[in-house]
Amino acid sequence: MTLNLLNLLSLTIWVPIIAGIVVLFAGKNDNLARFISILGAIAGFILSLIVYLQFDANFSGVQFEENYPWIQSLNIYYHLGVDGISMPFLLLNNFITVTVIIAGLKVIKSKVALYNSMFLLMTGFMSAVFCALDAMVFYVFFEAMLIPMYLIIGIWGSSNRVYAALKFFLYTLLGSLLMLVVLIYLYYVSSDTFEIFAFYKTPLTMLAQVLIFIAFFFAFAVKVPMWPVHTWLPDAHPEAPTGGSMVLAAITLKIGGYGILRFMLPIVPDAARALSGVMITLSLIAIVYIGFVSIVQKDMKRLVAYSSISHMGFVTLGSFLFVGQYLNTWALQGAIVQMISHGFVSAAMFMCIGVMYDRVHSRNIADYGGVATKMPIFAAFFMLFSMANSGLPGTSGFVGEFMVIMGSVQTKFIYAFFAATILIIGAAYTLWMYKRVVFGEVNNKHVASMSDVNFAEFIVLFLLAFAVIAMGVYPEMFVAKMQTGVKDLVMEVANTKLLIK
Amino acid sequence: MTIDNKFLYLAIILSPLVSSIIVGFFGWLIGKKVSHSLAILGVLISTIGSYIVLYRVQFEGLYFNGILYNWLTVGSQSFSVGLLVDKLSSVMLAVVTSVSLMVHIYTIGYMAEEEGYQRFFSYISLFTFMMLMLVLSNNFVQLFFGWEGVGLVSYLLIGFYIKRESAIFANLKAFLINRIGDFGFLLGIGLILAYTGSLDYGVVFSHMSNFTHAIMPGTSWNLITVICLLLFMGAMGKSAQFPLHVWLPDSMEGPTPISALIHAATMVTAGIFMVARLSPIYNMSHTALAVIIYAGGINCLFLGVLGIVQNDIKRVVAYSTLSQLGYMAVALGCGAYSVAIFHLMTHAFFKGLLFLAAGSVIIAMHHEQDMRKMGGLGKYMPITYITMLIGSLALAGIPPFAGFFSKDMILESAELVHKLGLPGGGFAVFTVYTSVIVTAIYSFRLIFMTFHGEERFRHVDNHHGQDDHGHHAVEPEESPWVVTLPLILMAIPSALVGWFAASDFVSNKILSGSVANAGWFVTNMQEEIVPLKMVLEGFTHIPVYLALAGILIAWLFHKNPKWSDKLIKAIKPLYVILMRNYYMDDLYINLFAPIGRAFGRFLWTLGDMFLIDGLIVNGSAKIVDWYSKILRKLQSGYVNTYATFMILGIIILLTFCTRLIFA
């Protein structure tokens, strides 16, 4: 634990942010900006990797804790720390940023410094969200991270970017404002503190719990996104640039899932138990309904966006399965695994679409056909990621779905029945798209002029492929570090904290 | 000794994987020759290892059940990648690696001039690895991994000709239909885990007996029956049982070597293997066994009949595979698991042989697959002819060829079940006996149409115009040795393996400890099998004469070509139904798929676009818009308007306040 003297979490958060600011000022020189960004992103990743390696899997509670007074009059502390639930996200976040920065090296030609700096800032903000143990720190960064994403869509987006960016912003704002109200309420009832873990100990009446649950639902369900507050995502993705889509799908959505685990379940466990049926139903609707919607999409990015919603349905399903008063360990752990895996797979899917978009400037499935003939290496990568998206065992995509389905059977067979339809539907939309885009005769002269992946693209795809396979073949590597955190959460949620007046 | 063996197992599993990876990634660099040598070396190591393991298991009592590494831990349960080397897996190992090795060698000849030569070798080596993982698994997760893994490679290989529309349609269809099966399979695994708390075969088998009378919560269904049927759904997909069989005929779009390896000898029998592996569970549910009998019986007879009307040489063999898988399923349903595995083994050899021989014919015919354009090839390609004849005799169940023994045992098992009055017995007897004659008809129709009679390939293709010095101007000739050697090597077991193995399979000596035949089978099948006696007795029983009658019918129709036209005319409506695969393809392609798409479109337009976005999201924005428009009108800037509203407001306020105060 000597390394903790270095304030490892702060470094992980602030190194990319500072790099981002430096890049912003290095402005004019594009290559210098690129160089610093890459350095910043890799430094962030290495720091998060150290956190992962140093993380003690058997330690119950938070690690790498840092606690400094921030606004003392309001009892707000700059309080950081990670446990088994948040640590994997820190690693995922910094990993994805490296790939995004590399992916943007050649593609982004205008406002290079601004583009890279936005991603670095966002990484830092999101790391802070995952590390925050003070609700206000969480909230500040939770909001702050919207700004770079808003700009990324608004500046580098496609034709309809303003509508998409605004929709994204308003949708998420709705939830965040309600969350702020709740946090202030909790501040008062838990004797003037914003400590998240203090909130866990605060008894609440059922009415208060349900209201808080609803407010949190709007804050986090929009992010996930859950049906029926999901429609911003299929609009945002097609408008966002490749990097934006990758981060959006890989990490921003996960903040919703993380919020459910960090706030909703432990703060209002009785309401969560009472309303779990509703949440499960919404999740199953997301899985099946959105799955069918994905099948008929004509725009590749829209298709993958819908597929993200369907896959995130497994996260919310896994988070709300109870066996008696206990959360279902299988499903809960599966939900986290699914989030990490979906981070890799969705980022990879958007990367693949981006690679094709850069060459043909179309997202329409119908504008492609026969890509494999022109880009065999790319086709192989895309095949792997499509299979991962279809949940093939041996890839990361299988592990989370498998765990959640196994967990659902324990709670109720019918849940598993609907959840498992993703085996058929997921394969149908992913592989049907793959067939129309990659297989077949070369469809038109645009496809005929496509060239195979360049070095930067290869590196990105390779890194993602490595992650997808590593997690599929040896998930224990990730899961072992979560065990204790998940166990703690299950115990926390198992207790009733109902205040009876 | 144990370390030595563990190294051996790893070598068996990993050598095809390693060669697949090297050939797959660096094939372009190392060239064709090094690629195929590496791939063959990998499988050769596996094959030799497998035979050593087979020997040690069968004669030295070797048994291994252990883990390689811990895959996943959830709470107190951990799942490992492990190996189970017992009698069943050792037999399967030998079958899989032998056929795979033959196919690897054969591929050198068959794919010589094809694009993507290295890719093909990489795929079939990868397939071998996946199949070995499936066979050697000691738990359900790894079984599912191998199960889906072979499905993936099958998908890649059916669509090997990525530019051909029919191929990339067939592979998508195969994958999706298989996924329907896997849907059930995964749910079955889920139930097993939920009730027994483990996915390890050994633990599951020992816990399962606690649930003999358990029912599914909320229903009146027997838990074990539900589990068995869900798992069998997976088998129906993989082993192409009706109604999930529709992908198999289309899978013939893939190159012929993989039709032999994947879609005849190994992958499609994975479902049969799985049920045999789980025999302790299936023995607990008579209902499930009866369902398997019905599924198998339908395959056996009704899909076998379709083989008679096919003209594509590969499709005949494909429908015959469906029919033979039906035989295996009937054997499983009769509780004669070891007999099913016996037929699986003989079938792997003779059906693999038939496909490879068909491929040899296809090479000679320059990739023409229509039998109506063949004929009289026997004298040009004698090795192919004789080996294919051996394969067909084995398939038709003529003694003393391998298929005779295994099929005869299935017939006996069916009769036994019928005699004992178990459910499905009558249907089993009817279908398996009738399909003996059907099998003989289509097998020998193929032989006669391809190798005998008029040389029809001489007067076709002339309408191709510019292709005057075209393909068929050259005399057909025997294929190169890399093709004929595997044919000969496969013909030997096709002819002989039954003779040597029948007794051990029926008494279950060869699989004891890993496959538990149903009680009724064990008690009623105690007499020792003497191959010679069985062959001689065979001629006193009906089945052989049924088969010979089938051959005779095929010959008569061959000699009188007009008969078939007349027959087709006479049964026109039935013929159409048969040609269209009982409309099963239409059911999926023209009914289920469009309904799925229409449903998706409906949800998208009505749910997402109209209700959520149209009414709620943009609707609320519009309400804000209207509201602000109204408010804007109030902000007129005229003092008198403001004054009017101010006075109105004061009056309303006062009214309420006074009411509140004085009430």
Interface A–B counts its CB contacts (< 8 A) at 136
Which helix (H) or strand (E) segment holds residue B82: the answer is strand B77-85
Q: Which of B141, B152, B162 sits opposite A392 (nearest CB)?
A: B152
pLDDT at B460: 58
DSSP B181-238: HHHHHHHHHHHHHHHHS--BHHHHHHHHGGGTT-B-TTS--BHHHHHHHHHHHHHHHH
Backbone angles phi, psi at A263, to 5 degrees: -110, -60
What digits encode the pLDDT tens for the residues B517-563? 888 888 887 777 788 888 888 888 888 899 999 999 999 888 888 88
Distance from CA of A319 to the nearest CA of B (A): 15
Rg (CA), chain A: 22
In terms of Cβ atoms closer than 10 Å to its own Cβ (0-12, 13-18, 19+), residue B629 is exposed
What digits encode the pLDDT tens for the residues A423-437? 999 999 999 999 999
What digits encode the pLDDT tens for the residues B88-126? 999 999 999 999 999 999 999 888 888 888 999 999 999
Could you give the CA distance from residue A493 to residue A321 in angstroms, rounded to a whole number? 12
pLDDT at B473: 54
Cβ neighbours, 10 Å, residue B196: 18
Could you give the CA distance from residue B364 to residue B480 in angstroms, rounded to a whole number? 10
What digits encode the pLDDT tens for the residues A66-100? 888 888 888 888 989 999 899 999 999 999 999 99
CA end-to-end span of chain A, whole Å? Answer: 45
Per-residue confidence band for B661, with pLDDT thresholds at 50, 70 and 90: low
Instruction: Copy the structure tokens of residue A216.
Output: 């949190």
B170 and B247 in contact (C-beta within 8 Å)? yes
Write out chain A residues lying below 8 Å of B187, CB-based.
405, 409, 413, 416-417, 420
| Least confident window among B374-388, B425-439, B618-632 | B618-632
B599 at A interface, C-beta within 8 A: yes
Instruction: Copy the structure tokens of residue B566.
Output: 């007349």
pLDDT at A1: 44
B150 at A interface, C-beta within 8 A: no
Q: Cβ contact (<8 Å) for A234 and B165?
A: no
Could you give the CA distance from residue A145 to residue B340 in angstroms, rounded to a whole number? 62
Does the pLDDT value for residue B464 go beyond 50?
no
Could you give the CA distance from residue A481 to residue A333 in angstroms, rounded to a whole number? 11
| Least confident window among A73-82, A99-108, B480-489, B636-645 | B636-645
Secondary structure (3-state) at B160: coil
Q: Cβ contact (<8 Å) for B189 and A403?
A: no
Structure letter (DSSP) for residue A227: T
Structure letter (DSSP) for residue A367: G
Write out chain B residues lying below 8 Å of A483, CB-based.
73, 75
Does the pLDDT value for residue B465 go beyond 60?
no
Chain B residues 213-242 within an 8 A CB cutoff of chain A: 216-217
pLDDT at B603: 86
B197 and B207 in contact (C-beta within 8 Å)? yes
Instruction: Copy the structure tokens of residue A150.
Output: 């808003």
Mutate to test the interface with B, among A413, A425, A477, A483 (most CBs of B within 10 A): A413
pLDDT at B126: 94
pLDDT at B3: 52
B163 at A interface, C-beta within 8 A: yes
Could you give the CA distance from residue A100 to residue A119 in angstroms, rounded to a whole number? 8
Q: Cβ contact (<8 Å) for B597 and A475?
A: no
Q: Which of A402, A409, A476 sits opposite B191 (nearest CB)?
A: A409
B305 and B578 in contact (C-beta within 8 Å)? yes
Residue showing tokens 């496959």 = B515
What digits encode the pLDDT tens for the residues B258-270? 999 988 889 999 9
Closest A-chain CA to B219? A413
Instruction: Copy the structure tokens of residue A385.
Output: 């990621």
pLDDT at B1: 47
Per-residue confidence band for B468, with pLDDT thresholds at 50, 70 and 90: very low
Does the pLDDT value for residue B367 go beyond 90?
no
Mean pLDDT score, B14-19: 94
Q: Which residues of chain A carry a pLDDT beneath 70? A: 1-5, 27, 501
Report the DSSP pairing between strands A76-82 and B64-74. Answer: unpaired
Write out chain B residues lying below 8 Å of A410, CB-based.
193-194
Write out chain B residues lying below 8 Å of A387, CB-based.
152
Q: Which of B75, B163, B189 sits opposite A329 (nearest CB)?
A: B75
pLDDT at A71: 86
Residue showing tokens 């596996």 = B46
Q: Tell me the residue type at A260.
A: I
Backbone angles phi, psi at A191, to 5 degrees: 45, 65
Q: Which of A373, A424, A432 sits opposite B180 (nearest CB)?
A: A424
Residue showing tokens 């408010």 = B631
What digits encode the pLDDT tens for the residues B306-323? 988 888 999 999 999 999
Could you give the CA distance from residue B85 to residue B93 in angstroms, rounded to a whole number? 9
Helical spans, DSSP H, in A191-240? 196-201, 206-216, 222-223, 232-239
Write out chain A residues lying below 8 Å of B69, CB-based.
474, 476
Q: Cβ contact (<8 Å) for B191 and A392?
A: no
Closest A-chain CA to B175? A427
Distances (CA, A) of B20 to A473, B41, B146, B268: 17, 11, 16, 21
Q: Cβ contact (<8 Å) for B75 and A330?
A: yes
Instruction: Copy the structure tokens of residue A243.
Output: 């990097």
Could you give the CA distance from residue A283 to residue A405 in angstroms, rounded to a whole number? 13
Q: Which of A394, A438, A440 sits opposite B145 (nearest CB)?
A: A394
Structure letter (DSSP) for residue B648: H
% of residues, chain B, pLDDT over 90: 43
A12 and A127 in contact (C-beta within 8 Å)? yes
B61 at A interface, C-beta within 8 A: no
CA end-to-end span of chain B, whole Å? Answer: 100
Which helix (H) or strand (E) segment holds residue B461: the answer is none
Q: Cβ contact (<8 Å) for A441 and B163?
A: yes
- Give the rounded distance of the alpha carbon of A306 from its chain centre: 15
